[in-house]
Amino acid sequence: MNDAAKQLSERERVKLGPGSGISPKPRDAATLILIDRSGKAPRVLMGKRHHGHKFMPGKYVFPGGRLDAADRAIKPLDELGETCVRRLGQHVVKWTEGRGRALALAAIRETAEETGLLIGKEDANGVTSNAEAWKPFVSKKIRPSLSALTFVARAITPPKRPKRFDTRFFLADRQSIGAEIGEIVGPDTELVSLDWLTFDDALQIDVPNITKVIIREIVERLQNGDAARPAPFYYFRNGGFQRKLID
């Protein structure tokens, strides 16, 4: 168990007696980490969740959410890189490349829903979808670009939690934003504010434990300039978090 796994275990260890609680099956989810490298120091996009939410109220998070059926029907402008496709399929039962594609699209859709930022490029053919969540891409004629995404981490929520997610974390550059929809973020929306923060600042605000761990992973990736760096996989087993590298 490395230091990051120990940190997660210490902060999120689940103490349960016999028969206490039921572990729901983790649901596929995806998150997008947007990085702005235009200044002296890289900055990461963080959104502050509404205090009225039952799930992680008031915390700063990356945009993201669970996979939706409509994501599987979207035709992207291009595909994920070969390395991303290979790594996404490791340690997964009944895996298909279509599932990996849908997860990447879910990260892009959730980012658009929560921030108004559309990852992709203008395309005359646009996107064909009747799903409400994909309407911004249809109206702006933006085709989501999967080649802009890099799979950088995976984490599964510990057992005995009311909500469990099998989350894939993708990294993308701010320059991959093809369009922006205004008036998405406000006092009564899921994210009440958006902030581009340095990594040092992002580690000082109120973020979930796993988010803090992933931020540190991204810092190491950027500092080393290692695009081929293996993706860490965090999961709970034998009373603590384990960290496995996906390569």
Q: Which long-range contacts (CB under 8 A, 24 or more apart) does 176-179 make?
A: 176/119, 176/120, 176/145, 176/148, 177/34, 177/117, 177/118, 177/119, 178/118, 178/119, 178/120, 178/121, 178/122, 178/140, 178/142, 178/145, 179/118, 179/120, 179/122, 179/136, 179/140, 179/142
Maximum separation of any 2 CA atoms in the chain, in Å: 59
- Side-chain half-sphere CA neighbours of 177 within 13 A: 17
244 located within any domain: no
126 located within any domain: yes
pLDDT of res. 18 = 41
Q: What's the CATH code of the domain at 87? A: 3.90.79.10
pLDDT of res. 36 = 97
Contacts of 203 (CB under 8 A, 6+ apart): 212, 215, 216
- Main-chain dihedrals φ then ψ at residue 110, nearest 5 degrees: -60, -35
Tell which residue, 176, 180, 156, 178, has the closest CA to residue 236: 156
SS3 of 228, please?
coil
pLDDT of res. 14 = 44
Sign of torsion, CA 111 113 114 115?
A: positive
Among all chains, which residue has been given the structure tokens 């490349």? 97
Tell which residue, 172, 194, 168, has the closest CA to residue 181: 194
31 located within any domain: no
**Token pair for 44:** 């990461």
List per-residue pLDDT tens for the chain, 247 residues long: 666 766 665 555 544 434 446 778 999 999 999 999 999 999 999 998 876 555 566 789 999 999 999 999 999 999 999 999 999 999 999 899 999 999 999 999 999 999 999 999 999 888 999 999 999 999 999 999 999 999 999 999 999 888 899 999 999 999 999 999 988 888 777 788 899 999 999 999 999 899 999 999 999 998 887 767 899 999 999 888 999 999 9
168 located within any domain: yes
pLDDT of res. 142 = 96
SS3 of 96, please?
coil
Please state, in angstroms and rounded to a whole number, the distance separating the CA atoms of residues 161 and 145. 34
DSSP3 helix / strand / coil % (the chain, rounded to 5) = 30, 30, 40
pLDDT of res. 99 = 96
- 197: containing domain: 3-12+43-182+189-239
23 located within any domain: no
Please state, in angstroms and rounded to a whole number, the distance separating the CA atoms of residues 19 and 13. 17
pLDDT of res. 56 = 61
149 located within any domain: yes
- Main-chain dihedrals φ then ψ at residue 52, nearest 5 degrees: -80, -5
Please state the separation of Cα 62 from the chain's center in Å. 6
206 located within any domain: yes
120 located within any domain: yes
pLDDT of res. 96 = 95
**Token pair for 135:** 């309407």
Q: Work out how many domains the chain is built from and give that number.
A: 1
pLDDT of res. 5 = 65
